[in-house]
Amino acid sequence: MIQRNEFKTGPRSSSAGSSAKTSSFRRTIQSILGGGFLTKDGVVNQLTFLFYATFLAILYIANIYYAEKDIREFNALNKELKELRYEYITGKSNLMNISKQSEITKRLLGSGIKESVVPPYKLVLVKSELKN
């Protein structure tokens, strides 16, 4: 039989360290998934802070949804404003076109009303004529 001389040099660096980390990680995951971490005193003492943090997170999410809704409404109103502005400009140009003297003359030809050929004149009253 051949004997080997083995030297013991502290913990093994790769396999022993990684197995300890793995088992610690596994225990932590089991504690979280099983709910065992909730029974520890540190968590119970911090429960009010956890509720406060949860409330703030819900408030933050609700605020984001509210802001997005406002942005959507703002964009819809801007689109409607553009459409109304275009409609206003179109209506204004149609009114200007219809109220031209030549257009009015064309519309009144069928009704028998004619355009006056005598230019208008101004009536001037003298103050002396008003006293008599």
Q: pLDDT tens-digit profile of 76-96?
A: 999 999 999 999 999 999 999
Per-residue pLDDT in tens (0 to 9) along the chain, 132 residues: 555 655 555 555 555 556 777 888 888 888 778 777 667 777 777 888 889 999 999 999 999 999 999 999 999 999 999 999 999 999 999 999 999 988 888 888 888 888 888 988 898 887 776 665
Quote the pLDDT of residue 128. 74
**How remote is the C-alpha of 125 from its chain's centroid?**
68
Non-local CB neighbours of 17 within 8 Å, separated by 6+ positions: 11
Contact 80, 86 (CB under 8 A): no
Tell the burial category of 31 from Cβ atoms under 10 Å away from its Cβ (0-12, 13-18, 19+). Answer: middle
Contact 115, 105 (CB under 8 A): yes
Backbone angles phi, psi at 26, to 5 degrees: -65, -45
Sign of CA dihedral 6, 8, 9, 15: positive
Residue written as token pair 């949860």:
54
Residue type, 17: G
Quote the pLDDT of residue 96. 95
Is this model's pTM higher than 0.85 or not? no
